[in-house]
Amino acid sequence: MVDILELYQLAGNQGHDVYCYTDENLSAVSIKNSEDGSCAIAINPYQLESPVDEKYKLAHELGHCETVSFYTRCSPFDL
């Protein structure tokens, strides 16, 4: 099983920047830079319930970055 440090290392090795942010409406988000294709992940530490929750959210956002699967305004799945 992959631990949290390995996920952060994977993000760094793949060129994905991970940031800490404090938006009260979101616990985690990832975005793709349309100019260079890089990905950024932001995680709100104030909305994490546990280290397991942090691991889950980081893995989820890494999944978006690795598969280039992001929600868009045109997506029927964007809630």
Coil, strand or helix at 8: helix
The predicted model scores a pTM of 0.83
DSSP for 16-37 reads: -EEEE---TT-SEEEEE-TTT-
DSSP secondary-structure letter at 69? -
- pLDDT tens per residue across span 8-62: 999 999 999 999 999 888 899 998 887 887 899 999 999 999 999 999 999 999 9
CA dihedral 29, 53, 76, 32 (to 10 degrees): 30
Neighbouring-strand partners of residue 39: 32
Q: What is the pLDDT of residue 34?
A: 75
